[in-house]
Structure 1
Amino acid sequence: MKARINLLLLVLLVVMNACSQPKVIQGRIKAADSGAPLKNAEIVLKGTKIKSHSNSRGVFNIHLTDSNNVLIISAKGYESKEIKLNDSDPFQVMLVPKGQVMYDVNMPVKEEKLLEEDKTMIRASEDIVVPQMNESFAMAPAASFNTEDYSALKENGFKQVSKAPLSTFSTDVDRASYTNVRRFINMGQMPPIDAVRVEEMINYFDYDYAQPTGNEPVVIHTEVAVCPWNNLHKLARIGVQAKRLETKNLPASNIVFLIDVSGSMEDPNKLPLVKSAFKLLTDQLRANDKVAIVVYAGAAGVVLPSTKGDEKTTIKDALNQLEAGGSTAGGEGIELAYKIATQNFITNGNNRVIIATDGDFNVGASSDGELQRLIEEKRKRGVFLSVLGFGMGNYKDNKLELLADKGNGNYAYIDNFSEAKRVFVNEFGGTLFTLAKDVKLQVEFNPATVQSYRLVGYENRLLNDEDFNDDKVDAGEIGSGQTVTALYEIIPVGVKSPFLPASIDPLKYQNERSSGPVNTNELMTVKLRYKEPVDSSSKLISVVANNANPSIETASASFRFAAAVAEFGMLLRNSVYKNQSNYEQVVALASTSLQNDPEGYKHEFVKLVKTAKALSQASDKNVVGSILDLP
Structure 2
Amino acid sequence: MKTKLIILLAMLFSAFAFLPERLIKGKVTDGANALIAGVRVAIQGSPVGTATDQGGHFTIRVPRLGRALVFSKSGYKALTLPITSDSVMKVVLTQASVKKKDIAREELKDSEQPVMVRKMFTFDMAAAPSTHSETILAMPQATESYKPINENGFLSVGQQPVTTFSVDVDRAAYSNVRRFLNNGQMPPEDAVRIEEMINYFDYDYPQPRGEHPVAIVAETTDSPWNPGLKLVHIGLQAKTVSAENLSASNLVFLIDVSGSMNEANKLPLLKQAFKLLADQLRVEDKISIVAYAGSAGMVLAPTSGSEKKTIKDALDKLEAGGSTAGGEGIELAYDLAKKHFLPKGNNRVILATDGDFNVGISNESELQKLIEEKRKAGIFLSVMGFGMGNYKDSHVETLADKGNGNYAYIDNIQEARKVFVQEFGGTLFTIAKDVKIQIEFNPAHVQAYRLIGYENRALRNDEFNDDRKDAGDMGSGHTVTAIYEIVPSGVKSPYVATTDALKYQPGNAATGSSNKEMMTIKVRYKQPDSEKSKLFDLPVPATTVAFDQCSANLRFASAVAEFGLLLRGSEFKGSASYADVIRRARAAFGKDEEGYRSEFVQLVKVAQSLDGSQEGTRTDVRVRR
Q: Which TM class, normalised by the smaller chain length?
A: 0.7 to 0.9
- 2-structure distance, mates of 1:30, 1:547: 62
Q: Residue 368 and residue 110 in structure 1: after superposition, are their counterparts in 2 closer, same or farther (change >3 A)?
A: farther
Moved more, 144-153 or 579-588: 144-153
Could you tell me whether the CA contact under 8 Å between 2:337 and 2:347 is conserved in 1?
Answer: yes
Q: Tell me what 1:513 maps to.
A: 507
Does 2:168 correspond to 1:199? no
| Displacement after TM superposition at 1:487 (Å) | 0.4
Q: Residue 507 and residue 598 in structure 1: after superposition, are their counterparts in 2 closer, same or farther (change >3 A)?
A: closer
Could you tell me whether the CA contact under 8 Å between 1:32 and 1:269 is conserved in 2?
Answer: no
Q: Tell me what 1:80 maps to.
A: none
Residue-by-residue CA offset, 1:207-247 (whole Å, 9 max, x unaligned): 11111122321100111110111121000011000111110
Could you tell me whether the CA contact under 8 Å between 1:571 and 1:582 is conserved in 2?
Answer: yes
- 2-structure distance, mates of 1:143, 1:520: 53
Given candidates 205, 209, 212, the residue that maps to 1:213 is 209
- 2-structure distance, mates of 1:389, 1:538: 31
Given candidates 25, 30, 38, the residue that maps to 1:56 is 25
Letter in 2 for 1:421: R
- 2-structure distance, mates of 1:568, 1:548: 26
- 1-structure distance, mates of 2:348, 2:581: 38
| Displacement after TM superposition at 1:363 (Å) | 0.4
- 2-structure distance, mates of 1:270, 1:372: 24
Q: Tell me what 1:300 maps to.
A: 296
Q: Tell me what 1:439 maps to.
A: 435
Q: Tell me what 2:417 maps to.
A: 421
* SS across alignment from 1:567: helix
Given candidates 111, 132, 149, the residue that maps to 2:86 is 132
| Matches for 1:484-495 after TM superposition, within 5 Å | 484-495=480-491
Letter in 2 for 1:267: E
Could you tell me whether the CA contact under 8 Å between 1:92 and 1:107 is conserved in 2?
Answer: no
TM-score by length of 1: 0.79
Q: Tell me what 2:117 maps to.
A: none
| Displacement after TM superposition at 1:374 (Å) | 1.6
Q: Residue 241 and residue 264 in structure 1: after superposition, are their counterparts in 2 closer, same or farther (change >3 A)?
A: same
Q: Tell me what 1:571 maps to.
A: 566
Q: Residue 193 and residue 622 in structure 1: after superposition, are their counterparts in 2 closer, same or farther (change >3 A)?
A: closer
| Displacement after TM superposition at 1:621 (Å) | 7.6
- 2-structure distance, mates of 1:215, 1:516: 29
- 2-structure distance, mates of 1:592, 1:438: 35
* SS across alignment from 2:224: coil
| Matches for 1:389-468 after TM superposition, within 5 Å | 389-468=385-464
| Displacement after TM superposition at 1:547 (Å) | 1.1
Given candidates 532, 535, 539, the residue that maps to 1:540 is 535
Letter in 1 for 2:526: K
Q: Residue 591 and residue 283 in structure 1: after superposition, are their counterparts in 2 closer, same or farther (change >3 A)?
A: same
Q: Tell me what 2:604 maps to.
A: 609
Letter in 2 for 1:177: A
Given candidates 289, 296, 318, the residue that maps to 2:314 is 318
Could you tell me whether the CA contact under 8 Å between 1:175 and 1:411 is conserved in 2?
Answer: yes
Q: Tell me what 2:157 maps to.
A: 161
Does 2:38 correspond to 1:38? no
* SS across alignment from 1:441: strand
- 2-structure distance, mates of 1:538, 1:482: 19
| Displacement after TM superposition at 1:373 (Å) | 1.3
Could you tell me whether the CA contact under 8 Å between 1:92 and 1:109 is conserved in 2?
Answer: no
Q: Residue 338 and residue 587 in structure 1: after superposition, are their counterparts in 2 closer, same or farther (change >3 A)?
A: same
Letter in 2 for 1:488: Y
Q: Tell me what 1:5 maps to.
A: none
Could you tell me whether the CA contact under 8 Å between 1:240 and 1:485 is conserved in 2?
Answer: yes
- 2-structure distance, mates of 1:111, 1:458: 44
- 2-structure distance, mates of 1:93, 1:551: 52
- 2-structure distance, mates of 1:289, 1:485: 31
| Displacement after TM superposition at 1:368 (Å) | 2.2
- 1-structure distance, mates of 2:509, 2:475: 40
| Displacement after TM superposition at 1:523 (Å) | 1.1
Q: Residue 170 and residue 276 in structure 1: after superposition, are their counterparts in 2 closer, same or farther (change >3 A)?
A: same
| Displacement after TM superposition at 1:501 (Å) | 2.8
Could you tell me whether the CA contact under 8 Å between 1:93 and 1:109 is conserved in 2?
Answer: no
- 2-structure distance, mates of 1:575, 1:594: 25
Q: Tell me what 1:62 maps to.
A: none
Could you tell me whether the CA contact under 8 Å between 2:159 and 2:502 is conserved in 1?
Answer: no
Residue-by-residue CA offset, 1:585-615 (whole Å, 9 max, x unaligned): 1111101001120000000000000000000
Q: Residue 279 and residue 91 in structure 1: after superposition, are their counterparts in 2 closer, same or farther (change >3 A)?
A: same
Letter in 2 for 1:336: L
Could you tell me whether the CA contact under 8 Å between 2:611 and 2:618 is conserved in 1?
Answer: no
Letter in 1 for 2:25: S
Does 2:257 correspond to 1:254? no
Q: Tell me what 1:113 maps to.
A: 70
- 1-structure distance, mates of 2:466, 2:271: 41
| Displacement after TM superposition at 1:143 (Å) | 4.6
Residue-by-residue CA offset, 1:144-169 (whole Å, 9 max, x unaligned): 37510000010001111111111100
Does 2:341 correspond to 1:384? no
Q: Residue 170 and residue 32 in structure 1: after superposition, are their counterparts in 2 closer, same or farther (change >3 A)?
A: farther
Does 2:524 correspond to 1:526? no
- 2-structure distance, mates of 1:622, 1:444: 38
* SS across alignment from 1:284: coil
- 1-structure distance, mates of 2:394, 2:78: 35
| Displacement after TM superposition at 1:366 (Å) | 1.4
Moved more, 565-574 or 214-223: 214-223
Q: Tell me what 2:144 maps to.
A: 148
Residue-by-residue CA offset, 1:237-286 (whole Å, 9 max, x unaligned): 11000111110110000000000000000001000011111100001000
* SS across alignment from 1:147: strand
- 2-structure distance, mates of 1:595, 1:160: 36
Does 2:264 correspond to 1:268? yes
Could you tell me whether the CA contact under 8 Å between 1:254 and 1:289 is conserved in 2?
Answer: yes
Residue-by-residue CA offset, 1:349-406 (whole Å, 9 max, x unaligned): 0000000000000002112212211211111110000000000000000000000100
| Displacement after TM superposition at 1:92 (Å) | 5.9
| Displacement after TM superposition at 1:119 (Å) | 5.5
* SS across alignment from 2:146: coil
Does 2:557 correspond to 1:600? no
Alpha-carbon RMSD across the aligned residues, in angstroms, is: 2.9
| Displacement after TM superposition at 1:553 (Å) | 1.6
Could you tell me whether the CA contact under 8 Å between 2:287 and 2:303 is conserved in 1?
Answer: yes
Letter in 2 for 1:134: V
Residue-by-residue CA offset, 1:557-609 (whole Å, 9 max, x unaligned): 11000000000001000001001111111111101001120000000000000
Could you tell me whether the CA contact under 8 Å between 1:449 and 1:547 is conserved in 2?
Answer: yes
* SS across alignment from 1:56: strand
Residue-by-residue CA offset, 1:86-138 (whole Å, 9 max, x unaligned): xxx945699xxxxxxxxxxx99799973569985669xxxxxxx652535669
TM-score by length of 2: 0.80
- 1-structure distance, mates of 2:362, 2:176: 22
Q: What stretches of structure 2 of length at least 5 have no aligned partner?
A: 1-15, 28-42, 49-62, 93-123, 126-136, 620-625
Could you tell me whether the CA contact under 8 Å between 1:387 and 1:409 is conserved in 2?
Answer: yes
| Displacement after TM superposition at 1:521 (Å) | 1.8
Q: Residue 360 and residue 623 in structure 1: after superposition, are their counterparts in 2 closer, same or farther (change >3 A)?
A: closer
* SS across alignment from 2:234: strand
Does 2:539 correspond to 1:582? no
- 2-structure distance, mates of 1:530, 1:545: 20
Could you tell me whether the CA contact under 8 Å between 1:175 and 1:412 is conserved in 2?
Answer: yes
Could you tell me whether the CA contact under 8 Å between 2:258 and 2:293 is conserved in 1?
Answer: yes
Q: What stretches of structure 1 of length at least 5 have no aligned partner?
A: 1-28, 40-54, 59-88, 95-105, 123-129, 625-631
Q: Residue 193 and residue 322 in structure 1: after superposition, are their counterparts in 2 closer, same or farther (change >3 A)?
A: same
How many aligned residue pairs are there?
Answer: 529
